[in-house]
Amino acid sequence: MQITESDVEHDNGHVDLLILGAGWTSTFLIPLLKHEKIKFAATTTDGRDGTIRFRFDPGSSDPTQFNALPRTETALITFPLIGQGQAKHLVRMYESTHTNKPHFIQLGATSIWKAPTWQDESSLYDSADPRAIAEDELMTCSHGSVLNLAGLYGGSRQPRDWVDRVVKSKADLKGKGALHVVHGEDVARAIVALHRNFTPGKRWLISDMHVYDWWDLVQDWAIQIAKSGDGQVDSPVSKVQRQEQLLTWVGELMIEEGIRALPRDTPSLGRVLDGRGFWRQMGIWPIQGRIR
Ligand SMILES: NC(=O)c1ccc[n+]([C@@H]2O[C@H](COP(=O)([O-])OP(=O)(O)OC[C@H]3O[C@@H](n4cnc5c(N)ncnc54)[C@H](OP(=O)(O)O)[C@@H]3O)[C@@H](O)[C@H]2O)c1
């Protein structure tokens, strides 16, 4: 997405929100920022499409790249920071090259919550996870806030396209419990809400507030794909056979595991995420749900 001078409207080099890493999330965030007339700037590692060229190198103390970044009220870090030291270094480099201390927001993942039961933002997480270590450091050193995101979807990223990657065997499918996702539009809304109503030193769990059952989804999508392939001469036999195999696996697993109907009851899904807290705090609710 091309960013133009009029989008950015630097005010003496000052923006409201600086996106450090304008990747997939920004395809939803930038249109919202424009709509809300929030002044922004964005970086990519190669400076394409009107962005600022910036690649964070945790081993470098050269201020040149940081000098090129505008002063901002909120700095959104979309790329992963890993382990001890990186978050502190990034914050120090930014603050030593600017006259203000922005609110830092880091995007993370919900995979840090691992227990096979209900989890929300107050639940124990894997504090040894390299990303969680960096997130904790950001919250400590700059009172930053972290949005731990469920699976990202929207536009070209559709959950049904993930099946071939995650279910290669019946054993894979047997091991699949709950799926949690959040649409890019709601991620963008969450970022804007947090920019406006910042929560220092707080980690949030961001989902669309649904718990999806992988078996239920796989069965539904297999039926749809198999039907759409019916009568189409160019529909590959292997694709139809694959859907029939998935349907068989779901049926067999239901018998073997004593599951009477789909979707499965929540307790039999294991790890399930309660994503209500952030939306309640911000006074907004997801506008996307019920993946197809
Ligand atoms: N995929 C999922 O389902 C999922 C689920 C939960 C959380 N997440 C997390 O959510 C975050 C946002 O995801 P996304 O899909 O929007 O990410 P993305 O498309 O990979 O975007 C990341 C951006 O960061 C930039 N970048 C990468 N390394 C950098 C570095 N060292 N210094 C500066 N910039 C750097 C990239 O630049 P270039 O554009 O130049 O490459 C890109 O613009 C990620 O942290 C991801 O791990 C993803």
- Convert the pLDDT of each residue in 173-194 to its tens digit: 999 999 999 999 999 999 999 9
Confidence of residue 170 (pLDDT cuts 50, 70, 90): very high
Residues sharing a CB contact under 8 Å with residue 115, sequence separation 6 or more, in sequence order: 123, 124, 271
- State yes or no: pLDDT of 100 exceeds 80: yes
Is the pLDDT confidence value at 5 over 70?
A: no
Cα-Cα-Cα-Cα dihedral sign, residues 275, 276, 281, 286: positive
Quick check: 9 pLDDT over 80? Answer: no
Query: How many whole angstroms from 254 Cα to the centroid of ligand 1?
Result: 37
pLDDT, residue 259, reads: 97
**Residue 209 or residue 156, greater confidence:** 209
Q: Which of 10-14, 45-49, 196-200, 279-283 has the lowest mean pLDDT?
A: 10-14
Q: For residues 253-260, give the mean pLDDT.
A: 98
pLDDT at 238: 83
pLDDT recorded at residue 226 = 78
What pLDDT is recorded for position 53?
98
Instruction: List domains and CATH numbers for the chain.
Output: 5-157+180-211+272-282 (3.40.50.720)
Q: Which atom of ligand 1 is nearest to the CA of 25?
A: 16
Q: In percent, how much of the chain has pLDDT > 70? A: 93
Segment 76-104 mean pLDDT: 98
Binding-site residues, ligand 1, Cβ < 6 A: 20-25, 44-46, 54-56, 78-80, 107, 109, 149, 151-152
pLDDT at 240: 85
Secondary structure letter of residue 49 according to DSSP: T
Q: Looking at the predicted structure, is the pLDDT value of residue 8 above 80? A: no
What is the mean predicted confidence (pLDDT) over 220-240? 74
**Ligand 1 geometric centre to CA of 187 (Å):** 13
- Best of 18, 45, 57, 77 for a ligand 1 pocket test (most atoms within 8 Å of beta carbon): 45
Nearest to 69, CA basis, from 32, 105, 147, 15 = 15
Nearest to 211 by CA among 243, 182, 252, 249: 182
- Ligand 1 centroid – CA 45 distance (Å): 11
**Which of 30, 77, 152, 273 gets mutated to test ligand 1 (max ligand atoms within 8 A of its CB)?**
152
Helix axes 86-96, 130-142, angle to 10 degrees: 40
Q: What is the mean pLDDT of residues 141-165?
A: 96
Work out the pLDDT band at 227, boundaries 50, 70, 90.
confident
Asked if pLDDT for residue 10 goes beyond 60, the answer is no
**232 pLDDT above the threshold of 60:** no
CA distance 78 to 93: 17
pLDDT band with cut points at 50, 70 and 90 for residue 292: confident
Cα of 95 to ligand 1 centre, how many Å? 22
The model's pTM: 0.95
Q: Residue 199 — very low, low, confident or very high, per pLDDT cuts 50/70/90? A: very high
pLDDT at position 233 over 60: no
Average pLDDT, the chain: 94
Going from the Cα of 222 to the center of ligand 1, the distance in angstroms, rounded, reads 30
User: What are the tokens at 3?
Assistant: 């960013």
Is 235 a residue whose pLDDT tops 80? no
pLDDT-above-90 percentage for the chain: 87
Evaluate whether 224 touches 102 at the Cβ level (below 8 Å): no
Which atom belonging to ligand 1 lies closest to the Cα atom of 151?
Answer: 3
Residue 228 confidence (pLDDT): 75
